[in-house]
């Protein structure tokens, strides 16, 4: 067993993830989700905003992390639209604006076609500079984002009326895969704007690091795909009630089944590896 | 001796590869021949006509107008449609052309599936398909980031300040236009000096923009880290050792939690003080700090695993749903076996 | 002389950023400096592309092993640049349909968008997804509970792995309300809320102290490694 070809482990992981996906695709069943406090805090923060509030949403991820973060982006956008809030979308990652366009197309243009670009939502695109961007928008938002993605000056957009700096937004949401992302938003925006509410949707890799900022500098957090599934469940309960939720809004919950079996496999591998290790150790101790 | 072993292993490896490719090819051929087939992308052309109006300020605005409007400009774009929508259109009007197969997007989908399998093939060992895919992504990524930096930053923030009227006429018609801004020459000059690093002379010339970047970045980071990561984090650690509920009663769990956090932060910081020998009280505190660190790393590992498996699940979903058409959880092909999403708990 | 000017530029840039939170009149200067920094960051992407071109061309001309892959990289780079900078297949923006270059380069249907969706997305996503297999293999081969610390790490990992899935509910959901804190999902929350927070907070504070001291060294010119070896 100690000489076990690693390809058998790869095959086991492949089956542990693939078979639940196929099972879910055939049955359509998902596990129930009960929210943890950081996910509930995200939901409550958006629920507390009055209709018409502008919300800054930052798409700080790329296709490499969309498996975890795209469901969060979709749920956030759906929740904002349902509450008639107005997302102002920016990005700190070069592929962020394209991910934002995909989310806008799948949520706003499909399910909320009455919302007008420039008035009810806007995509201001990406700017290079990482935390330099955050530093500038802290005092002069329009200097950093002078035009939207269509080239229309921000001064002419009704949605941006009265917005001069990041602190003018009552709520900021960052959907973050790494650097720059949740941590930088805490360091450069949240800490210097005590009244601003910051929410972060982060990958599993980042969740552990960013958790220390919760709940002081970070009001709420969606940690990895589980956080996305919890938030999805909250939004679905609030919007759909007992009706069946559209499949595009259950993506994170569908991924919890492969998650479960992947985790169980990993635990089994660790236990097996340790059992073999201690057995070999005992044999060596006993052998003359 | 080792060469002999390697030589013996090589034909076995080769047979393994050929077998794997054959299995995949047969499975794909079977699937493509079954039922509705697989891996097709449908589109519909959306045609919109625009006409211009001029407001009191003399600004021209374009808006969508009805067919047949005089002087209207037509813009056509292909938008995604699902296989279910194609079937519905076909059943309503057989042979219709409104919703059709998009060959460039279908080829793209199959290419995406090839790239996905090529990267997965690295699990079995390095191979030409993986190397080809890796070479492609290196070139595409570098090009992509350059294009995005150009259109999203350099054009609106540099060129638009250097030649606003030219940029307005060329690609940003909604720009206000105006006079050349001489301050923009500073970042332009620094940028050209930075790019000179590609030339042999650039080693000296490129120092100045590099120093500018380093200095600005250092100043930026210092303020934010001190404010956010020292002051605010220390403030968040100043918790009451004895906590009370809102009604004034003693909150046991909150008190224990606060004590654990304060002790944990102090002991972990003690571990990182390497200028004092870890003996006596400091040594014991450092040991407790190590335990806290181990729990921290254990939780980080758990979350990392969670993240990786989610990404793997997303790729399998692409292969099973978008390419092989094995399942249809989103109902895009309206296959009979799909059930609506329901809860497991009775 | 060149080095002295570079050190002066570093000091002035850094001091501007340090002083601006405390002096309102310096906020405008800091914003300008940061704006230039952001533009330089965009130039750095161009530099990266140029550097890739240089290295791959050298490999191609040297005709060393694997030079064919360098040709592929260069071709992919050139095609992406051409379709992106040239906005191939991009329709005009609806706000200015008479200006053909007004559209966004990654508009649906454009060649650049096609490359993003069918080349970049699957490859980059799969490169990260493949790590799940390596995590499993590494966990089997290397994770050993050899001592108390390693056991603590593994036990915590198990609680998180089980508590963050439905397995936690199945395994410990039967515990009564007075023992609900011992349910795996609640244990996972407690671990994150208490132990992980404490450990990471100390790490964050330590890193911040390091950043501050390194920053001071850079601004004062005590650390000049970024300037290169010779004068």
pLDDT of res. A151: 85
pLDDT over 90 percentage in chain C: 73
C178-208 pLDDT, tens per residue? Answer: 888 899 999 999 999 999 999 999 999 999 9
Q: Is the pLDDT assigned to residue B337 strictly greater than 70?
A: no
Q: B343 — phi, psi (to 5°)? A: -80, 150
DSSP 8-class letter at B259? H
What residues of chain A lie within 8 A of the CB of B229, using their CB?
A: 187
pLDDT of res. B29: 84
pLDDT of res. B120: 95
Provide the β-strand partners of residue B81.
B42
C38 and A149 within 8 Å at the Cβ level: the answer is no
Q: Is the pLDDT assigned to residue C136 strictly greater than 90?
A: yes
Class of domain A37-245: alpha beta
What residues of chain C lie within 8 A of the CB of A100, using their CB?
A: none
How far is it, in rounded angstroms, from Cα B273 to Cα C55? 43
C91 and B210 within 8 Å at the Cβ level: the answer is no
Between B3 and A114, where is the model more confident? A114
How far is it, in rounded angstroms, from Cα C148 to Cα A210? 27
Mutate to test the interface with A, among B310, B321, B322, B337 (most CBs of A within 10 A): B310
Closest Cα to residue B341, out of A261, A252, A254? Answer: A254
DSSP 8-class letter at C214? H
The pair of three-digit structure tokens given for residue B319, joined into one six-digit string:
């292969």
Burial (CB < 10 A; 0-12, 13-18, 19+), residue B97, is exposed
A8-28 pLDDT, tens per residue? Answer: 999 999 999 999 999 999 998
Kind of pairing, strands B99-101 and B342-343?
unpaired
- The rounded radius of gyration (Å) of the Cα atoms in chain B is 31
B82-111 pLDDT, tens per residue? Answer: 898 888 888 889 988 999 999 999 999 999
Give the nearest partner residue to C137 out of A6, A135, A149, using CB atoms: A6
Return residues 8-47 of C near A (CB < 8 Å).
17, 21, 27, 30-31, 34-35, 37-39, 41-42, 44-45
Q: Is the pLDDT assigned to residue B69 strictly greater than 80?
A: no
C-alpha pair distances (Å), B48 with each of B68, B75, C127? 11, 5, 39
Q: What is the ipTM of this complex?
A: 0.92
Q: Is the pLDDT assigned to residue C135 strictly greater than 80?
A: yes
In chain A, where are the structural domains located? 6-27+255-286, 37-245
Q: State whether residue C123 is helix, strand or coil.
A: helix
pLDDT of res. C164: 93
Closest Cα to residue A175, out of A263, A111, A87, A260? Answer: A87
Q: What is the mean pLDDT of residues B275-287?
A: 92
Q: Does B312 touch chain C (CB under 8 A)?
A: yes
Closest Cα to residue A250, out of A24, A59, A44? Answer: A24
Q: What is the mean pLDDT of residues B211-224?
A: 92
- d(CA B34, nearest CA chain C) in Å: 25
How far is it, in rounded angstroms, from Cα B270 to Cα B287? 9
Q: Is the pLDDT assigned to residue B335 strictly greater than 60?
A: no
Positions in chain A short of pLDDT 50: none
What residues of chain C lie within 8 A of the CB of A143, using their CB?
A: 31, 35
C6-22 pLDDT, tens per residue? Answer: 899 999 999 999 998 89
C-alpha pair distances (Å), A188 with each of A26, A222, C19? 46, 20, 15
CB atoms within 10 A of CB B18: 10
C57-79 pLDDT, tens per residue? Answer: 999 999 988 899 999 999 999 99
A151 and C164 within 8 Å at the Cβ level: the answer is no
pLDDT of res. B321: 93
pLDDT of res. B33: 78
What residues of chain C lie within 8 A of the CB of A140, using their CB?
A: 31
pLDDT of res. B57: 75
Q: Does C212 touch chain A (CB under 8 A)?
A: no
What angle, rounded to 10 degrees, do the helices at C2-19 and C197-219 form?
Answer: 130
The total number of residues shown for chain A amounts to 288
Burial (CB < 10 A; 0-12, 13-18, 19+), residue B94, is exposed
B105-132 pLDDT, tens per residue? Answer: 999 999 999 999 999 999 988 989 999 9
Neighbours of B, requiring at least 3 CB pairs below 8 Å, are A, C
How far is it, in rounded angstroms, from Cα A227 to Cα A204? 10
Question: In the structure, what pLDDT confidence band is assigned to residue C230 with cuts at 50, 70 and 90?
Answer: low
Return residues 52-81 of C near A (CB < 8 Å).
none
How far is it, in rounded angstroms, from Cα C201 to Cα B218? 22
Q: State whether residue C88 is helix, strand or coil.
A: coil
B143 and C40 within 8 Å at the Cβ level: the answer is no
pTM, entire model: 0.91
Triad C171, C176, C179: Cα angle to 5°: 85
The string of DSSP letters for A112-151 reads -TT--BTTTBEEEEE-S-THHHHHHHTT-HHHH--B-TTS
Q: Within chain A, where are the H helices?
A: 6-27, 37-47, 66-82, 96-103, 109-111, 131-137, 141-144, 182-185, 204-210, 224-239, 251-254, 256-286
Provide the β-strand partners of residue A153.
A147
Query: CB under 8 Å to C37, separation ≥6 — which residues?
Result: A129, A132, B212, B213, B216, B217, B220
In chain B, where are the structural domains located? 1-33, 239-346
Report yes or no: B265 and C122 within 8 Å, Cβ to Cβ.
no
How far is it, in rounded angstroms, from Cα A48 to Cα B225? 30
How far is it, in rounded angstroms, from Cα B301 to Cα B285? 24
CA dihedral A101, A105, A108, A112 (to 10 degrees): 160
pLDDT of res. B66: 80
Give the nearest partner residue to A32 out of B311, B326, B343, using CB atoms: B343
CB atoms within 10 A of CB B63: 10
Q: What is the mean pLDDT of residues C14-35?
A: 89
Q: State whether residue A199 is helix, strand or coil.
A: strand
Q: Is the pLDDT assigned to residue B2 strictly greater than 50?
A: no
For residue A227, the chain C residue with the least C-alpha distance is C164
pLDDT of res. B10: 61
Provide the β-strand partners of residue A60.
A176
B8-53 pLDDT, tens per residue? Answer: 556 676 777 778 778 888 888 888 877 777 899 999 998 888 888 8
Query: CB under 8 Å to A253, separation ≥6 — which residues?
Result: A30, A31, A33, A229, A232, A233, B341
Q: Does B260 touch chain C (CB under 8 A)?
A: yes
- d(CA A84, nearest CA chain C) in Å: 25
The pair of three-digit structure tokens given for residue B49, joined into one six-digit string:
């006509």
How far is it, in rounded angstroms, from Cα B204 to Cα A196? 45
Q: What is the mean pLDDT of residues B281-306?
A: 95
Question: In the structure, what pLDDT confidence band is assigned to residue B200 with cuts at 50, 70 and 90?
Answer: confident
A36 and C185 within 8 Å at the Cβ level: the answer is yes
Question: Which of A180-184, B143-147, C26-30 shows the lowest mean pLDDT across its residues?
Answer: C26-30
What angle, rounded to 10 degrees, do the helices at A6-27 and B280-317 form?
Answer: 60
Q: Does A66 touch chain C (CB under 8 A)?
A: yes
The pair of three-digit structure tokens given for residue A164, joined into one six-digit string:
């001069």
What residues of chain A lie within 8 A of the CB of C181, using their CB?
A: none
Question: In the structure, what pLDDT confidence band is assigned to residue B6 with cuts at 50, 70 and 90?
Answer: very low
pLDDT of res. B345: 29
Report yes or no: A74 and A108 within 8 Å, Cβ to Cβ.
no
């Amino acid at each position: 067993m100690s000489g076990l070809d690693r390809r058998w482990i790869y095959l086991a992981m492949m089956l542990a993830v693939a078979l639940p996906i196929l099972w879910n695709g055939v049955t359509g069943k998902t596990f129930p989700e009960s929210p943890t406090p950081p996910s509930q805090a995200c939901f409550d923060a958006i629920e507390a905003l009055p209709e018409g509030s502008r919300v800054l949403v930052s798409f700080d991820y790329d296709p490499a992390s969309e498996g975890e973060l795209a469901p969060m982006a979709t749920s956030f956008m759906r929740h904002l639209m349902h509450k008639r809030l107005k997302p102002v979308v920016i990005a700190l990652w070069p592929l962020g604006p394209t991910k934002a366009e995909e989310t806008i197309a799948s949520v706003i243009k499909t399910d909320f076609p009455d919302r007008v670009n420039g008035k009810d939502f806007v995509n201001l695109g990406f700017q290079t500079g990482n935390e330099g961007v955050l530093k500038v928008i802290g005092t002069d938002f329009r200097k950093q984002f002078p035009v939207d993605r269509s080239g229309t000056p921000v001064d002419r957009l009704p949605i941006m009326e009265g917005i001069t700096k990041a602190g003018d937004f009552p709520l900021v949401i960052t959907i973050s895969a790494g650097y720059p992302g949740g941590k930088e938003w805490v360091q450069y925006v949240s800490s210097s704007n005590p009244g601003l509410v910051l929410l972060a949707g982060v990958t599993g890799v980042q969740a552990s690091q960013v958790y220390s900022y919760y709940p002081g500098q970070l009001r709420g957090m969606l940690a990895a795909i589980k956080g996305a599934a919890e938030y999805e469940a909250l939004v679905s309960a609030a919007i759909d009630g007992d009706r069946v939720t559209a499949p595009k809004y259950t993506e994170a919950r569908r991924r919890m089944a492969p998650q479960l079996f992947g985790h169980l496999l990993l635990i089994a591998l660790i236990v097996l590896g340790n059992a073999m290790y201690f057995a070999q150790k005992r044999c060596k101790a006993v052998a003359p | 001796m080792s060469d002999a072993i390697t030589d013996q292993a090589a034909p076995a490896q080769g047979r393994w590869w050929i077998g794997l490719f054959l299995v995949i090819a047969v499975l794909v051929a079977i699937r493509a021949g079954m039922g509705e087939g697989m891996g097709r992308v449908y589109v519909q052309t959306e045609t919109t006509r625009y006409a211009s109006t001029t407001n009191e300020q003399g600004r021209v605005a374009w808006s969508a107008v009805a067919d047949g409007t005089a002087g209207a400009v037509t813009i056509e774009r292909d938008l995604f449609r699902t296989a279910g929508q194609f079937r519905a259109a076909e059943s309503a009007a057989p042979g219709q052309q409104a919703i059709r197969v998009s060959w460039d997007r279908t080829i793209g989908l199959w290419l995406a599936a090839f790239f996905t399998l090529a990267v997965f093939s690295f699990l079995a060992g390095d191979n030409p398909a993986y190397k080809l895919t890796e070479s492609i992504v290196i070139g595409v990524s570098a090009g992509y980031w350059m294009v995005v930096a150009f259109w999203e930053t350099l054009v609106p923030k540099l060129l638009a300040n250097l030649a606003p009227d030219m940029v307005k006429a060329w690609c940003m018609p909604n720009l206000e236009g105006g006079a050349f801004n001489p301050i923009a020459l500073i970042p332009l000059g620094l940028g050209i000096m930075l790019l000179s690093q590609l030339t042999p002379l650039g080693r000296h010339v490129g120092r100045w923009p590099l120093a500018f970047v380093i200095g600005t970045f250092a100043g930026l980071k210092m303020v934010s880290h001190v404010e956010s990561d020292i002051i605010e984090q220390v403030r968040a650690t100043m918790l009451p050792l004895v906590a009370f509920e809102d009604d004034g009663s003693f909150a046991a769990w909150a008190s224990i939690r606060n004590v654990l956090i304060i002790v944990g932060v102090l002991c972990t910081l003690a571990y990182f003080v390497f200028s004092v020998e870890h003996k006596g009280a400091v040594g014991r505190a450092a040991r407790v700090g190590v335990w806290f660190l181990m729990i921290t790393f254990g939780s980080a590992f758990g979350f990392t695993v969670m993240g990786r498996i989610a990404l793997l699940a997303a790729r399998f979903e692409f292969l099973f749903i978008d390419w092989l058409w094995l399942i249809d959880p989103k109902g895009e092909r309206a296959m009979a076996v799909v059930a609506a999403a329901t809860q497991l708990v009775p | 002389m060149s080095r002295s000017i570079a050190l002066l530029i570093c000091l002035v840039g850094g001091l501007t950023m340090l002083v601006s939170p405390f002096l309102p009149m310096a906020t405008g200067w800091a914003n300008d400096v940061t704006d230039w920094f952001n533009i330089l960051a965009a130039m750095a992407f161009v530099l990266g592309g140029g550097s890739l071109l240089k290295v791959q061309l050298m490999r191609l001309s040297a005709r060393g092993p694997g030079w064919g892959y360098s040709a592929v990289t260069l071709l992919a780079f050139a095609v992406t640049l051409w379709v992106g900078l040239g906005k191939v297949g991009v329709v005009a923006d609806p706000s200015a349909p008479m200006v053909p270059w007004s559209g966004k380069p990654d508009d649906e249907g454009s060649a650049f968008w096609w490359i993003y969706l069918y080349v970049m997305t699957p490859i980059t996503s799969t490169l990260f997804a493949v790590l799940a297999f390596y995590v499993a293999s590494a966990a089997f081969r290397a994770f050993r509970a050899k001592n108390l610390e390693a056991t603590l790490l593994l036990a915590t990992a198990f609680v998180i792995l089980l508590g963050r899935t439905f397995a936690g509910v199945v395994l410990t959901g039967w515990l009564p309300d007075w023992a609900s804190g011992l349910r795996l999902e609640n244990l996972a929350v407690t671990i994150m809320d208490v132990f992980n927070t404490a450990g990471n907070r100390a790490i964050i504070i330590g890193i911040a102290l390091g950043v501050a001291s390194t920053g001071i060294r850079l601004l004062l010119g005590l650390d000049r490694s970024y300037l290169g070896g010779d004068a």
